[in-house]
Amino acid sequence: MTHDPKSFGKVAVLLGGTSAEREVSLMSGRGVLSALASRGVDAQAFDPAERELAELKHEGFARVFIALHGRHGEDGTVQGALELLGIPYTGSGVMASAIALDKVMTKRVWHAEGLPTPRWLSLGAGQRAREQLRAVPDALGLPLIVKPPHEGSSIGVTKVRGYSEMQDAVALAARYDDDVLCEEFIDGIELTCPVLGSGDAARALPVVRIDAPGGNYDFEHKYFSEDTGYRCPSGLAAAEEAAVQRLTLAAYRTLGCRGWGRADLMLRTDPARNDRALFLLELNTSPGMTSHSLVPMSARAAGISYEELCLELLADAGLDHRA
Q: Give the separation between CA 26 and CA 17, rounded to whole angstroms.
A: 8
Q: Which of 262, 286, 306, 312 is catalytic?
A: 262
Q: Which of 19, 21, 83, 306 is catalytic?
A: 21
How wide is the angle at C-alpha 288 spanned by C-alphas 283 and 292, nearest 5°?
Answer: 120
Q: Is residue 262 annotated as a catalytic residue, yes or no?
A: yes
Q: Is residue 312 annotated as a catalytic residue, yes or no?
A: no
For 85, the enclosing helix (H) or strand (E) is helix 77-85
Cis peptide before 233 (omega within 30 of 0): yes
Q: Residue 221, Cβ neighbours under 10 Å: how many?
A: 18
Q: Which of 28, 92, 153, 286 is catalytic?
A: 153
How wide is the angle at C-alpha 67 spanned by C-alphas 12 and 230, nearest 5°?
Answer: 145
Among 107, 158, 87, which residue's Cα sits nearest to residue 320? 87
Q: Is residue 223 annotated as a catalytic residue, yes or no?
A: yes
Q: Which of 288, 293, 298, 306 is catalytic?
A: 288
Q: Is residue 154 annotated as a catalytic residue, yes or no?
A: no
Tally of CA atoms within 13 A in the half-sphere of 74 that contains its CB: 30
Q: Is residue 214 annotated as a catalytic residue, yes or no?
A: no
Q: Give the separation between CA 182 and CA 123, rounded to whole angstroms.
A: 8
Q: Is residue 252 annotated as a catalytic residue, yes or no?
A: no
Q: Give the separation between CA 281 and CA 260, rounded to whole angstroms.
A: 17
CA 251 remoteness from chain centre = 13
Q: Which of 165, 177, 241, 264 is catalytic?
A: 264
Cis peptide before 271 (omega within 30 of 0): no
Q: Is residue 264 annotated as a catalytic residue, yes or no?
A: yes
What totals of helices (H) and strands (E) does the chain contain, helices first? 11, 13
Q: Residue 72, Cβ neighbours under 10 Å: how many?
A: 15
Q: Which of 176, 217, 223, 306 is catalytic?
A: 223
Tally of CA atoms within 13 A in the half-sphere of 169 that contains its CB: 25
Q: Is residue 73 annotated as a catalytic residue, yes or no?
A: no
Asked if 176 and 215 touch (Cβ cutoff 8 Å), the reply is no
Q: Check the CA dihedral 226-205-296-219 and report its sign.
A: negative
Q: Give the separation between CA 278 and CA 273, rounded to whole angstroms.
A: 13
Q: Which residues are annotated as catalytic?
A: 21, 153, 223, 262, 264, 282, 284, 288
